[in-house]
Amino acid sequence: MIGIYRGAADALRRAEADVERDEKIRESVSAIIADVRSRGDAALYDYALKFDKADLSAIEVSVEQIDRAEAECDPALVVLMKRAAENIRAFHSRQVREPFVIKDKPGVVMGQKITPIEKVGLYVPGGTAAYPSSVLMNCIPAKIAGCSEIVMVSPPSRDGDISPVILAAAKIAGVDRVFRIGGAQAVAALAYGTETVPKVDKIVGPGNAFVAEAKRQVFGKVAIDMIAGPSEILVISDGNSSPAVLAADLLSQAEHDRMATAILLTDSEELAAKVSDELEKQIPTLPRRDIARESIDNNGKIVILGSIDECVELANEMAPEHLELCVDEPFGYLDAIKNAGSIFLGRNCPEALGDYMAGPNHTLPTSGTARFSSPLSVDDFVKKSQFTFFSAEALDEVCGDVASFARAEGLEAHAKSALARREKGDF
């Protein structure tokens, strides 16, 4: 049963890491990365057999198989994926940055140019679960940014195939190449390249603890989007919301993962009790009830505070991945929310809407990192370069200042470099 608290003290505690388990994962992942770097494709075939029980004849999925996938899917789901893709494109197209040039001083030109990252690797979870929404959310911003090649990896099933739903989503989103590999070995292949898998410049997409650790270990060799922790939802509600609806929203994250966190902040003791009762009614009805049960029992919380303003203050301290504002005037609190990955406003905006159809990205900062990081966006797939031009006359006006500043920092060669272009070479 979910815990009910009066006051903020216990709400800030997140699920604690298993240090011993994490160390074992680090060691295992390190060995896998080294093996893939050493043996390339051969290691990938061996790991597919070891971890996925798949005896692969080829690592790459053919273009023909990708083209056939849509016809093998439920037509209604294909329609939904295409509709979601349109919404995602419409939202993310507004994120495109423009370069700029400054020419407000004679002889001086400065500016910033925007260049797409060339090659992006997209990790998509596979095995028993198929998440086509992750394909759309991670690929479409990269396509809008103008990345020249998007490579997708996903674990194969025992028969060596990737779900047609995942392949259909890849085609809809614009993925260029697809490979039947998963786990830490897939991340290593993307980071370092093999005979078949191209080396990329950035790796994005969710995965299990081994995938997250592999991304951590290859960071620096390539860029990554983020290190994702367990799913989180924080709901702020006054006493006017439906307890059944709030319980359903909390369970939408609890069913993800035994480590997921679902929290309700409210100023109503009556609502708190009713939501707790509703959770007990709804959990047994879920196909993933065992996962939801453990998540709610171990990490779920209902916290009763003195006002909605206090709830907002606590939410900012927690910096949740998903934040629902189930109150009468949600826009009145929007400016007060400083730390949250994605904010859902009002009583008619479940977090699940953001997972699939609304358009904003569902790849979000977790574990309190919304204090300093942002949802996946077009910005994650571009680089910014700055440029500077000074004419001889413009440089002559400032080179003395440059030299003085450099000498103040004890950098004489910097000073001489600035002065060397003067006609008389004033050293």
Residues near 87 by beta carbon (within 8 Å), at least 6 away in sequence: 357, 358, 359
Range of the domain at 313: 3-16+229-372
Q: What is the mean pLDDT of residues 180-194?
A: 98
Instruction: Identify whether 193 is part of a domain.
Output: yes
Rounded Cα–Cα distance for residues 316 and 262 (Å): 16
Q: pLDDT tens digit string along 342-378?
A: 999 999 999 999 999 999 999 999 999 999 999 999 9
Positive or negative: CA dihedral 161, 166, 171, 173: negative
Q: What is the mean pLDDT of residues 302-322?
A: 97
Instruction: Identify whether 414 is part of a domain.
Output: yes
Residue 229's pLDDT band (boundaries 50, 70, 90)? confident
Is the pLDDT at 227 greater than 70, yes or no? yes
Q: Are residues 184 and 248 in the same domain?
A: no
**Six-digit token string for 38:** 């050493």
Q: Are residues 209 and 234 in the same domain?
A: no
pLDDT at residue 6 in the model? 87
Is residue 56 a contact partner of residue 160, using CB atoms and an 8 Å limit? yes
pLDDT at residue 419 in the model? 95
pLDDT at residue 423 in the model? 57
Task: Give the CATH number for residue 163.
Answer: 3.40.50.1980
6-20, 206-220, 269-283, 347-361, range with the lowest pLDDT: 6-20
Residue in the block written with tokens 């990737």: 162
Q: Are residues 92 and 207 in the same domain?
A: yes
| Domain total of the chain | 3
Q: What is the mean pLDDT of residues 174-196?
A: 98
Instruction: Identify whether 409 is part of a domain.
Output: yes
Q: Are residues 53 and 98 in the same domain?
A: yes
Q: Are residues 9 and 109 in the same domain?
A: no
Domain-ending residue, one of 224, 245, 263: 224
119-123 vs 202-204, strand pairing mode: parallel
Q: pLDDT tens digit string along 53-112?
A: 999 999 999 999 999 999 999 999 999 999 999 999 999 999 999 999 999 999 999 999
Instruction: Identify whether 27 is part of a domain.
Output: no
Q: Are residues 45 and 185 in the same domain?
A: yes
Q: pLDDT tens digit string along 8-44?
A: 766 666 556 666 788 999 999 999 999 999 999 999 9
Is the pLDDT at 427 greater than 50, yes or no? no
Rounded Cα–Cα distance for residues 374 and 396 (Å): 43
**Six-digit token string for 299:** 């990490």
Rounded Cα–Cα distance for residues 390 and 164 (Å): 56
Closest among 224, 213, 293 to 260, alpha carbons compared: 293
Residue 121, SS3 per DSSP: strand
Q: Are residues 218 and 334 in the same domain?
A: no
Annotated catalytic residues are: 321-322
Average pLDDT over the chain, rounded to an integer: 95
Q: Are residues 260 and 212 in the same domain?
A: no
Is residue 207 a contact partner of residue 226, using CB atoms and an 8 Å limit? no
Instruction: Identify whether 352 is part of a domain.
Output: yes
Is residue 84 a contact partner of residue 356, using CB atoms and an 8 Å limit? yes
Q: What is the mean pLDDT of residues 214-240?
A: 96
Instruction: Identify whether 406 is part of a domain.
Output: yes
The enclosing H or E element of 179 equals strand 177-179
Residue 333, SS3 per DSSP: helix
Q: Are residues 406 and 280 in the same domain?
A: no
Q: Are residues 255 and 332 in the same domain?
A: yes
Is the pLDDT at 418 greater than 60, yes or no? yes
Q: Are residues 183 and 143 in the same domain?
A: yes
Q: Are residues 159 and 249 in the same domain?
A: no
